[in-house]
Amino acid sequence: MAKQKIGMGDVRGWLAEVIGPDGGYLRLAMVYGVAISLLSLATPISVQLLINSVAKIALPAPLLTLSALLFALLLLVVVLSALRVHIMALFERRIFARTVAEITIRAVHARNPFFADARRSDLFNRYFDLMLVQKSVPSLVIGAFTILLQSVVGLVVTSFYHPFFLAFNVVLIALVLLIWQLWSPGAIRSAVALSHAKHEAARWLEGLGGSNGFYKSSRHLDFAMDGSETMTAAYVDAHRRHFRFTFVQTCAFLLLYATASAALLALGGWLILQNQLSIGQLVAAELILSGVFYGLGQLGTYLEAYYDMIAAAEEVSLLYAIPHDTPQRSSQGPSSGEVRLRGVESGDVRFDLTIAAGRQLVAVGAPTVDRRLAMLLKRNLQPDRGLVMVGGVDLEAFDVYRLRSDVVVLDRPTIVEIRIREYLGLAGADIPAGKVLDALSLVGLDSRIAQLPEGLETTLAASGWPFSIGELMALKLANALLARPQVLLLSPLYDLMPPERLSAALEALREAGTTVLLFTGRPDAICRDGYLWLGHTQQVQFETLEQLSAALRDQEERNALQA
């Protein structure tokens, strides 16, 4: 990443995406900054008037008037500065609220919500980079912008004092731009690379924290320590590269500060000796330009904050790049559980399949075919060609979120952190407590939950603890019994449930007319309406287990001959 070319167009794109919607706050703060910078000239101009005019008159009235006017102007600076700080506080709250809302929408509307499968669950750690943006922007708007603006105003004013001052200021600006151009592009690239190294280390440490005792052995412990050493070395190397750019640039600005200060004194003194500059003008120029030079010396610090802000904006922009579905908010859902796939192709799999509404089939499939079918039915995956229909209607006609309420796939032994009662309540509104207990009894969890100290108020971990995998899948089935979807797909994880209990639970779905596909590795252990074989290019329904077994034997023989 350090070698990746990053242009100012990329930087503007990241900042526009992350900060742009709240740019009104920044523009208003900059307007205040312009006023503050102009009013800041009150002090050097007052000093110049004092030396050139008031001191010669030797009367107290002009002195008091000048002091009162200076106080009023500086008091206005105080008020504007306080308002600017208040606006920046509003900006911090606004960008936080908006970004959290955006991340929430992107996460729940993600086209492929299985971030853990793609090893991208760490993507949401980028949320913490928002804090860096929150703190960097006010610092740059209040500090760096004020320094730059005051410098511009100061250079313009002093340029009118003498043509030599104009030439001096032009050379100064050229040197500043040269220092920026030489080291800033590399500093931006290295800042982004450093941020990526930071998140790689965070992902590794997060994996250690979620290892559940995996590293509690000598071999695994060595692996963990070696991995941490590798991550540390990568971060230190990225930090060293970034520091090389920022350190040299900071030193260049400090050297420019020292050189320009000495040169200004020499130039001003020479002009006075030549009677081309008054003492008042020299004092005013020293006051103005010494502030400019001091600001140049501080630019290195602000530029580091600027580079950190760019890196943080790039990280947050990754969250905005999550592909997502556009909700239609239609109330229409499938009218029945009939499943029909016509000429559907997805990768190396082809589906031609019709399952009548309300049918409950025991399914056996080739590797990955069951997952591909589930992804197609829930519209997490778009087919390369063909039509996927539920209830006789193409899936594209349904609101995707309503569809996923009517097509339920239970294939993952994980869950969100939630209380049992809350999870079951998500099955529908105003479900009677008696039906909840009946569903738990059907799947065999009533006595297990009764043994928990907090009962239905128990909060489940993401792994399902305190339930075992089988118990967690049973809880999900209880939720499906309450939700009564049109289509229900069950993975081979349900082989962990006793067959008779699973049959009883599925029988309860008859009344709802739910179409059920039970993928299993034990087709002889459970009997439903029929059997289904799902191959990569062929799908066949059977009425009896014997027909399915014969087809499986034929498939094994063909595979052996091909091998």
Query: Whole-angstrom Cα distance, residue 54 to residue 64?
Result: 10
Query: Whole-angstrom Cα distance, residue 368 to residue 363?
Result: 13
Direct distance between the N- and C-terminal alpha carbons of the chain, in angstroms, rounded to an integer:
43
The top-level CATH class assigned to 8-320 is mainly alpha
Residue 118 has a pLDDT of 47
Task: Pinpoint the residues of the chain covered by CATH 3.40.50.300.
Answer: 339-562
* Among the listed residues 461, 528, 466, 450, the one whose alpha carbon sits nearest the alpha carbon of residue 494: 528
- Among 30-44, 216-230, 250-264, 314-328, name the most confident range: 250-264
8 Å CB contact between 362 and 523: yes
Mean pLDDT on 207-215:
71
8 Å CB contact between 462 and 417: yes
Using the structure block, give the residue that is written with the tokens 């087709």: 523
Tokens of 206: 């997060």
Query: Whole-angstrom Cα distance, residue 52 to residue 281?
Result: 9
- Among 100-104, 240-244, 391-395, 481-485, name the most confident range: 240-244
Confidence category of residue 60, pLDDT binned at 50, 70, 90: low
Which one is the CATH code of 339-562: 3.40.50.1370, 3.40.50.300, 2.160.10.10, 3.40.720.10? 3.40.50.300
- 1 pLDDT higher than 50: no
515 φ/ψ angles, rounded to the nearest 5 degrees:
-80, 130
pLDDT cut 70: percent of the chain above it: 88
Task: Pinpoint the residues of the chain covered by CATH 1.20.1560.10.
Answer: 8-320
pLDDT by residue (tens digit) across 521-533?
888 888 888 888 8
3-state SS class at 130: helix
Mean pLDDT on 208-213:
70
Confidence category of residue 561, pLDDT binned at 50, 70, 90: low
Using the structure block, give the residue that is written with the tokens 């000598």: 218
Query: Whole-angstrom Cα distance, residue 310 to residue 535?
Result: 50
Q: What is the dihedral of CA 365, 367, 370, 376, to 10 degrees?
A: -130
- 51 pLDDT higher than 90: no
Q: What angle do CA 550, 555, 561 make, to 5 degrees?
A: 130
Query: 288 to each of 33, 152, 294, 423, how far by Cα in Å?
Result: 17, 11, 10, 66
Confidence category of residue 426, pLDDT binned at 50, 70, 90: confident
Residue 347 has a pLDDT of 83
Residue 2 has a pLDDT of 43
Query: Whole-angstrom Cα distance, residue 90 to residue 84?
Result: 10
Buried b (16+ CB within 10 A) or exposed e, 444-475: bbeebbeeeeeebeeebeeebebbeebbbbbb
Residue type, 41: L
Confidence category of residue 115, pLDDT binned at 50, 70, 90: low
